[in-house]
Amino acid sequence: MATLKVSSSVPSPPEDAEQLKSAFDGWGTNEDLIISILIRQTYHESFGEDLLKSLEKELTSDFERAILLWTPEPGEHDALLVNEATKRLTSSNQVVMEVACTRTSTQLLHARQAYHARFKKSIEEDVAHHTTGDFKKLLVSLVSSYRYEGEEVNMTLAKQEAKLIHEKIKDKHYNDEDIIRILSTRRKAQINATFNRYQDNHGEEILKSLEEGDEDDKFLGLLRSTIQCLTRPELYFVDALRSAINKTGTDEGALTRIVTTRAEIDLKVIGQEYQRRNSIPLEKAITKDTRGDYEKMLIALLGEDDA
């Protein structure tokens, strides 16, 4: 389960579970308690009830969503996110891609295992069933991936594949099987080397080359996001957060997903990059558009008090 830094004087897990039980029995003013003592296993052992189910019954709205995404193990919340995304329109393809490309191979494997356990089928099966055409080819390949995580780079291969990718982009063959194969099978260090060679050879970043395509091409947009997630995930999340916060009516779904899933991974780095690019601290941007316990939860995950 996800953890936050807490004070040195912390009740024992059984004591925390007892307080949670009391909070559920007399709901109304104990939301702050939930933020600080989420302990699923001990709660179940003490009361024979699943903490997530108790939370789902008692919490509401955006605060509930933040709790329900942050509380489980990462593989479990990733499985939930992908399952929800497969039931929506194609705009949720972005969420499937995000999970597949910003997790390590082990994290993605855990998500697939959690998906098996919870939904009695595979991520690949559901993604294939709910997508079509080029989206299906790309997304199924990405969620099926198990990349080698080493930093070794084959510069000869990088040169060859940079040339191959440039030819496909020049001909606007964005859905080419070789591009999908490279993005879904190569280690991230190798992909970075390939795109660095691409820039050296052609004088512009690959994302800049892809901007020359049809801006209304949703597959091309997904391809650009895939490349950004694989090479500079912090920039992808900065863009996604800015879009979520600056929309007419904050996109709480995207905001909650990013903060809860990156809280113990790279949210500090994302926050620093957000401030550098937007001239406002991420926590201030969030507090301008959120309220109440939901705001408290997000700020706690941002680690504002640790600054």
Annotated binding residues for Ca(2+), written as ranges, equal 24, 26, 28, 58, 245, 247, 249, 289-290, 295
CB atoms within 10 A of CB 63: 24
**CA torsion angle 82 86 88 90 (round to 10):** 100
Cβ contacts of 4 within 8 Å, gap of 6 or more: 36, 263, 300, 301, 303
CB atoms within 10 A of CB 233: 20
Structure tokens that stand for 182 in this block = 């490279």
Summarize the annotated binding site as residue ranges: 24, 26, 28, 58, 245, 247, 249, 289-290, 295
Structure tokens that stand for 306 in this block = 């640790």
**CA torsion angle 147 151 156 159 (round to 10):** 80
Packing angle of the helix pair 252-262, 267-278 (nearest 10 deg):
130
* Burial bucket for residue 13 (CB in 10 Å: 0-12, 13-18, 19+): middle
Where do we find the tokens 């997904």?
A: 222
Structure tokens that stand for 286 in this block = 């969030």
Where do we find the tokens 């705001």?
A: 295
* Burial bucket for residue 89 (CB in 10 Å: 0-12, 13-18, 19+): exposed
> Cα–Cα distances in Å, from 218 out to 69, 128, 135, 208, 264?
27, 18, 9, 16, 31
